[in-house]
Structure 1
Amino acid sequence: MDTTTDFPQKTEAPLFTRADAISYGLKDRELRAKFRKVIHGIYTISEADVTHELRCRAAAMTLPADAIISGRSAATLLGVPLAGPNDPVEVLVGGTNYMNRRFGLRAWARKSADDEHVPWDGIRLATPTRAAFDVLARNAPSFGIANCDAMLHAGLVNEDELAHFIATRRYYGVRKAQRAFELLDRRSESIPESVLRVTLVEGGLSPTPQVEVYDERGFVARVDLAFEERKVAVEYDGAWHANPEQQRHDRRRRKRLQKGGWTIIVVTADHLYGKPKETVSEVRQALRRRE
């Protein structure tokens, strides 16, 4: 069997079902050894680059026609890459047969209205507003808010339309979405930055995102989060900050901020996700020292 041509090629990589493979004479052990599982029951060639879109197209081959790709998966298909190649496809289904029991799927049995989805690859794709609702309603608060912030920042979702959607629905999770909506901020420029902001807010603090700082020479920096009255800046250092050129840039801007009287707290992923209470405590102590 020519694995690159025998199956219909709907995407950049061929997708085929286990039943297809068996009909071509493959045994299950050969299928597992020579091909890559994309989601439950759907395979591709071993050399394929498994993107999240490919996972979504694989899901479309096995889900019922009324299933709806939503949440972070829908956002990714709509141009805001929130779901990675290893993330499960997030879907709404009409019954319980697909509820989180299949490899590669994260499914919710939830209702939807006809104006909340459009046709997509044989199934349905949630509208941006419906996808944003599911992001808020189906995830932990900081994670849901951070991902929805990204959708707002990219212009995929209109804040007023999302507010109206939440206010006029009686879906499961609407109260959770309402609470999360109050903490949304389109100014956040990255998911970790949003998580950091929500962590501080939940700790009783009120930082302002993306504050521009100037001195007598002009623009100094735009800091991730700031307490302007006390000149305390909180910044997230992601993996890109390990780049030597970026490190030199960071040192120059932070030295200039400190010269202007600012206290700078740098938060790494380890502290943000592993020690959130310590992060809040460090910021609170810095604010007290500036009273």
Structure 2
Amino acid sequence: MSRRRPLPEFFRHAPFSRSRAMADRLPQSRLQCADVEHLGYGLYRDRAAPALTWADVGLDEPPHGQGPGFLRALLESTEGILSHQSAAHLYGIPLPPWLAGGPEGGHDEDDDRWKVQVTGPGMHLRSRREGVAGHRRRLTAGDVVVRHGLTCTSPERTWLDLAALFRVGQEEHLVVAGDHLVKHPWGDGGRRKPISTPARLRDALYQSPRFKGIRLARAALPHVRVGADSPTETIVRLRLVDAGLPEPDLQVHATELASDPYPADLGYREVRIALQYDGKHHLHPEQRAIDARRDAWFARHGWVVIRITAEDLQDDLRDVIWQIKVHLVRLAA
């Protein structure tokens, strides 16, 4: 009995495509051996290969449920790139539940929203691949980048593609996505560089040929701001403006001291009103102690602190809006 030919080193660490195997002169018969798992059309993996997980790159599981290694092989075999929701996942862009929940949440697994989104030059991607939603588009070199080892649309192109997924009146979701891309996220040692900038989003929008969602993108872009650390902060800002209040500033400090340790999520500097959103993590004793010190710091410097909760959002911020208006009237008297 002949000895089985070992798989080349490359194939022992991640899924691979048939085209890659053929290019490395691996015969079709070798792909049918028991140590090779057939993942789908033209995709294989060494059964002993460790699976790279999303947790390894600091991301949650995507709705389509496929791992990074599988996607790498998929893109190689289709010559496409990840786009739309799948690219948004690589950037950590927050999406509404109906677009990011996935079939495990009770949605139809045949719905294109829960599939891997791949953009390529031909429509064959849609018809030949189970679990893949294909998009036909010619992309420029600037539209294509590599993130977490996967080829995908650039942050700016991804934001424009997301505009096609929302309807008129849903601009809020696109503003949330834009705010995420332009924020300076916290990292070890402080704030990191943003994924994109408002100027780059604007250039991508106005240099792009017409596309589905262009009007929504044009409506959302003027509302994108640097400084929102969470989708909730963006939503609160937009709701306050919709209520006829002035637009609050983001990441507001009580003083101008460089050592000022406690920024408020939002606020009105001129009238010294600080707005703090208290999410679930604010229920932990350690965080509550930090919040108490933060609020005391603002109060010591003559600020009014208004704390906002999820219940306030469910009530369209009615009480919060009323409190702000009361303070504004008092200061104007």
- Residues 129-160 of structure 1, C-alpha deviations (whole Å, 9 max, x = no match): 21232244435533332232222124222322
Mapped pair 1:145 → 2:175:
yes
Q: Which structure 2 residues correspond to residues 101-112 of structure 1 after superposition, within 5 A?
A: 102-103=130-131, 107=133, 109-112=135-138
Partner of 1:263: 305
1:180 Cα deviation from its structure 2 partner: 1.2
Select which of 172, 185, 203 maps to 1:164: 203
Structure 2 contact 274–303 (Cα < 8 Å) conserved: no
Secondary structure, counterpart of 1:197 in structure 2 = helix
- Residues 76-119 of structure 1, C-alpha deviations (whole Å, 9 max, x = no match): 65xx44479987644334427538x954x5x4635233234347
Secondary structure, counterpart of 1:263 in structure 2 = strand
Partner of 1:95: 123
Partner of 2:326: 289
Secondary structure, counterpart of 2:67 in structure 1 = helix
Q: Which structure 2 residues correspond to residues 17-96 of structure 1 after superposition, within 5 A?
A: 23-24=32-33, 48=51, 50-51=53-54, 55-62=67-74, 65-71=78-84, 73-74=86-87, 77=90, 80-82=91-93, 89-93=116-120, 94-95=122-123
Q: Which structure 2 residues correspond to residues 81-230 of structure 1 after superposition, within 5 A?
A: 81-82=92-93, 89-93=116-120, 94-95=122-123, 98=126, 102-103=130-131, 107=133, 109-118=135-144, 124-139=151-166, 140-153=170-183, 154-169=193-208, 170-205=210-245, 206-214=247-255, 219=260, 221-230=262-271
In terms of mean alpha carbon deviation, does 180-189 or 46-55 score higher? Answer: 46-55
Alignment root-mean-square deviation, CA: 4.6
Q: Which runs of 5+ in 1 are unaligned?
A: none
Q: Which runs of 5+ in 2 are unaligned?
A: 1-5, 18-27, 58-65, 103-113, 184-192
Task: Point out the structure with max Rg over C-alpha.
Answer: 2
In terms of mean alpha carbon deviation, does 231-240 or 170-179 score higher? Answer: 231-240
**Identity, % of aligned positions:** 21
Mapped pair 1:253 → 2:320:
no
Structure 2 contact 15–72 (Cα < 8 Å) conserved: no
Letter in 2 for 1:264: I
Paired positions, count? 268
**2 CA distance for matches of 1:143 and 1:98?**
26
**TM-score between both structures, scaled by the size of structure 1:** 0.69
**2 CA distance for matches of 1:96 and 1:280?**
48
- Residues 222-241 of structure 1, C-alpha deviations (whole Å, 9 max, x = no match): 11111334433322223432
* Larger relative strand fraction: 1
**TM-score between both structures, scaled by the size of structure 2:** 0.61
- Residues 212-266 of structure 1, C-alpha deviations (whole Å, 9 max, x = no match): 11399x8473111113344333222234323322210101221333452403122
Secondary structure, counterpart of 1:213 in structure 2 = coil
1:287 Cα deviation from its structure 2 partner: 1.8
